[in-house]
Amino acid sequence: MSKIWEYIKIALMNIRSNKGRSFLTMLGIIIGISSVILIVSTGSGVKGGVSGQLNDLVGGYVQLYAENDQKNSDYIEFTDEDLDVITEKIDHVKGATDMWMFSEAQTQSTKGTFNTAVTFGNESLQYYNKTKMLKGRYFTKSEYQKASKVCVITEKGAKKLFGSTDVLGLDVNMTLYGITQEYTIVGIRKDNDSAMKGMVFNSGDVELEIPTTVLESVYGYYTEKFTSFFIFCDSTEYVKSVAKQAKNLLEARYNIRGKEYIQVYDFASSLNEIDGVLNYVTIFVVLVAAISLIVGGIGVMNIMLVSVTERTKEIGIRKALGAKTGSILFQFLMEAVIITLIGGLLGIVIGIAGAKGICSLLGVLGLGSIEAAIDPVVVLAATAFSSMVGIFFGIYPAKKAAKLSPIEALRHE
């Protein structure tokens, strides 16, 4: 143990005596290790953050739609009765609704005219946005059936239109396709502040949710039949099972078993696909970063060869004084390992700091709460790998030094 410590001290002394060269030798290792740590930690953090936000937004529900094309001789359309049957007969279903979205509506108040996103659905639409009611309530099944002119507004929308959230019972004038209608506010829900919101939901300065039946009675849209709808489950774990049962149930109702006219869009599967793509991107970039480790290792080998040449006389003197071949080999190998290990540790520190900085910046830029995922296994692997690079690329110079003849070494000028 004392001999190993002696080798380490000699190696550190030689590194200190050539600080500039030693740092340049480490640079390739530092860049390679820091790149791997930064990419893996940032990638895992972004993947976890984005997947988490998307899961919060769309996890727990599934969309079924009729694939009506020229090959489909049976034109399939669904009704409210289908939704009721699914809700009643399939376990873990909170509700189901058709959905009609418009982003070109406008609302007027004393504070001005605002671009408005309006979503029409039945009372189960309340499960879509996954946000809590701030005040009041959601519109009821009775109000849906009666085509009551009521609406739910977001907190931000209430403040835009009225400058306050004390708006229950107030009327909102909304214009859609040239038709202006007054709606009574029955509830205010919290805004969905997720950075991924724009990818999933209908959004505008003001957001309203209104019974679908009003879309037909006021604006003349035929909504009694529709070709797609959403099913909301108690939990994400039931989505696949519920989707399969709903598909089988509808195929039986419309006598179209085996024709694949009804398709399922499972948002959870889409999340898995996104994860898969991000994994491939991470692997590719890590492989590219690994090239710099190889380049860094070659740099270590070259510098160690130069060091052997410069210290030929020293090697000759040590051998003449009785130093064994193994001790010379171990000393130079130790020096290579320490150079790469120090470079690896610096790379780890820089990589972790960089990953945290990038994730913080992404949060500031509006991608939501993203934290760098520092995996101890990756850090340990990076440390071990940097040592292995030192051993692999240091073995040749070390062997060359160990094989020097003491007579030839002492003659070296």
Asked whether residue 338 falls in the same domain as residue 215, the answer is no
Alpha-carbon distance 371 to 363, whole Å?
9
Please write the tens of the pLDDT for every residue from 44-71. 777 777 766 666 666 688 899 988 765 5
Q: Using the 3D structure, point to which of 242, 267, 292 is the last residue of a domain.
A: 267
Asked whether residue 87 falls in the same domain as residue 214, the answer is yes
Local confidence pLDDT in tens for the 413 residues of the chain: 566 777 677 767 777 777 777 787 788 788 888 888 888 888 777 777 776 666 666 668 889 998 876 555 567 899 999 999 999 999 999 999 999 999 889 999 888 899 999 999 999 999 988 778 999 999 999 999 999 999 999 999 999 999 999 999 999 999 998 999 999 999 999 987 655 555 555 567 899 999 999 999 999 889 999 999 999 998 888 888 999 999 999 999 988 887 778 888 877 666 677 777 777 877 877 777 777 777 777 777 777 777 766 666 666 677 676 667 777 777 777 777 888 888 888 988 998 999 888 888 877 666 666 777 787 887 888 778 777 877 777 777 767 766 766 666 555 55
Asked whether residue 405 falls in the same domain as residue 280, the answer is yes
Whole domain around residue 71: which residue ranges? 61-267
Q: Using the 3D structure, point to which of 232, 267, 302 is the last residue of a domain.
A: 267
Asked whether residue 288 falls in the same domain as residue 223, the answer is no
Q: How many domains does the chain have?
A: 2
Q: Using the 3D structure, point to which of 240, 267, 294 is the last residue of a domain.
A: 267
pTM: 0.66
Asked whether residue 236 falls in the same domain as residue 348, the answer is no
Asked whether residue 80 falls in the same domain as residue 228, the answer is yes
Asked whether residue 83 falls in the same domain as residue 28, the answer is no
Asked whether residue 204 falls in the same domain as residue 311, the answer is no
Please write the tens of the pLDDT for every residue from 315-344. 667 767 666 777 777 777 777 788 888 888
Residue 42: exposure state from Cβ atoms within 10 A (0-12, 13-18, ≥19) = buried
Asked whether residue 262 falls in the same domain as residue 305, the answer is no
C-alpha to C-alpha distances, 57 to 137, 155, 197, 370, nearest whole angstrom? 21, 18, 7, 16
Asked whether residue 93 falls in the same domain as residue 152, the answer is yes
Please write the tens of the pLDDT for every residue from 240-280. 899 999 999 999 998 888 777 888 887 766 667 777 777 78
Asked whether residue 166 falls in the same domain as residue 297, the answer is no
Asked whether residue 307 falls in the same domain as residue 391, the answer is yes
Predicted local distance difference test score (pLDDT) of residue 404: 63
